[in-house]
Amino acid sequence: MSNAKDNQGTLWEVFIQSKSGLPYKHAGSLHASDKELAIQAARDTYTRRNEGTSIWVVPAECIVASNPNDQEELFDPMNDKVYRHPTFYVMPEGAKHI
């Protein structure tokens, strides 16, 4: 992602946990030359209003993403597996707490 002229540092993806117990969520990205500066910049850029209690920064090039062209192949097979959902099953009339 970097060309010869580009001296803005590595691209990092920033994930923020808004409070303990909740999942980390992608907040955005930023440039920084190393991980310490990336955390510092993430704090200044994405948590100016108490948006988080914890930050992950990940070099963007380390993220492996699925290809949008493979969407059908990857996800469509799940469409006909309705038996994976609890509503698929017929419960005897009158059964409780199930």
Which residues of this protein are in contact with other proteins, per CB under 8 A? 1-3, 5-11, 28-34, 37, 44-45, 48-49, 65, 67-68
Residues 96 and 17: their CA atoms lie apart, in Å, by 38
- Minimum CB separation of residue 6 from other proteins in Å reads 5
- Give the phi and the psi of residue 89 in degrees, each rounded to 5: -90, 140
- Minimum CB separation of residue 11 from other proteins in Å reads 7
- Minimum CB separation of residue 13 from other proteins in Å reads 10
* DSSP-H helix ranges across 1-98: 35-46, 71-75
CB nearer to other proteins: give 48 or 84.
48
Residues 75 and 59: their CA atoms lie apart, in Å, by 27
